[in-house]
A and B are shown apart, each in its own frame.
Chain A
């Protein structure tokens, strides 16, 4: 996978049951059609899919699993990002061993992000699982009830998914191929500073020789506010952020502002 090609990992913010129902059915049906095992972890408002799946599972029982949320996730709602990632790695490998072409998951995770601490842990997990999804046939539709969580929490989750139906989030930060890399895309202006600051911390990037690398080839715009957010992150961790971009203004801006912990690599 190229540094910037992103996995099938979608954040679905729903307050309309029917729109979600249509999208989730199509997503799961596509998985079944291409020989994947599909998992469904319903929430209180997303039960219609389960009924539909039970109908299909009569024919393809091994292909479909409908999981009780209490089975799929910790009962107290607190996710351990590493443990949860490991669980889906194991599940994907088991699906492959059983002859499926991959694993496809629709999970209503609303109950796992109801407190700030739980949201933080889950957001870290979302970034981490994204790295595995770059190399493994694991696809996911992460479902959240917007009416229960609010727009801010939705935005914090949406910016960590390559795809999202959440309005008002203009950028994405996703895992790169290695623990020291991330992929930054979209547009970053002053309205995104808070989201970016949270997302880059939750990425948990691990520097190599004091550097992390952000592949920003698909970044269409970044302003000085967000560039300073990245620099502040680099200062907090005493590292250098290598920003790979096609935007000619970025290196000049970094120089003008004296952002010594950002090294811009211009791409043709």
Chain B
């Protein structure tokens, strides 16, 4: 099969099921002389390696290191795709797998990633598969997987359209009701009303002291500062900054009374025209360990985590 651009989910329930789809997918790419890339976790990467003939010409990316922050992954994949196209590739194949720990507290921004890549990789001759083990993937996550992938890949070379696939421009603007971090049950370490950048950064430094070291502390300073700048410049009404601290992370929530960014891809993709805004939100996503966009009828909150975001 030759596809100009295809983003498929591979929802498997056994090793045999996984290999029945992945091995023909990879060998087909190699046979066609296409760049063929694997970005699976250590266990599945080993499984696939063992199932492939020796010296087959499949590229295995560093296992587990690829999927750290969604905006970073999109940027790095786009660089890789550009390089392959520049080298003459007419089709590129990638099989990827998100690490299971992100199915918990941070799933919301990975769901946004899965939706955004339908747009982000448009224009590249990419056939990508995203593997999900249905034995360990929570039901709500699988529901999002079906809404963010136009089709699923099945053994026998079958491609089944997803009945719930949702246009990214719609999916990404939906209120997502993110999980509250348990730290938010306590009084915040700082609660600032309409702070300027300097006051915000003082509060961040104070909160991060003794919890975060560089570069995490520098990153938190930057992302919170950017979010406050955005709230003042693009938001509406009063701006509120709350900061919570835990043993292994610092959490900041920046709120205003506006509807939030109107570009559905803001944060995950760099703006085409940096003079029209959007750069700060993209940087915020690149430098955060978790960024939540929470749209509610009474306003918009961006919640940013530095440190370990995987509290569940």
Q: B residues engaging A (CB < 8 A)?
A: 75, 196-198, 201, 214-215, 218-219, 221-222, 225-226, 229, 233, 270, 274, 279-280, 283, 286-287
Contacts and interface: CB of A to CB of B under 8 A. Distances in A.
Contact of A189 (B218, B229, B274, B279): B229
Nearest to A248: B215
14 contacts: A187-B201, A189-B229, A190-B197, A190-B229, A191-B197, A220-B201, A221-B197, A221-B201, A221-B222, A223-B225, A248-B218, A249-B215, A257-B274, A257-B279
Contact of B286 (A190, A220, A247, A256): A256
B214 A224 contact: no
A136 B209 CA distance: 39
Interface in A180-194: 187, 189-191
Contacts of A246: 214
Nearest to A189: B197
Contacts of B225: 189, 221, 223
Contacts of B274: 257
A190 B227 CA distance: 12
Interface centre among A170, A223, A248, A249 (most CB of B within 10 A): A249
Contact of B198 (A170, A247, A252): A170
A238 interface: no
A187 B222 CA distance: 11
B87 to A, nearest CB: 21
A221 B214 CA distance: 13
A247 B217 CA distance: 10
The 8 closest A-B pairs by CB, nearest first: A248-B215, A189-B197, A248-B218, A249-B218, A249-B222, A248-B214, A190-B229, A170-B198
A253 interface: yes
B219 A249 contact: yes
A247 B216 CA distance: 11
Interface in A228-257: 246-249, 252-253, 256-257
A257 B283 CA distance: 10
Given A247-B218, A248-B215, A256-B283, A223 B226 contact: yes
Contacts of B221: 221, 249
A166 to B, nearest CB: 14
Contacts of B215: 248-249
A115 to B, nearest CB: 31
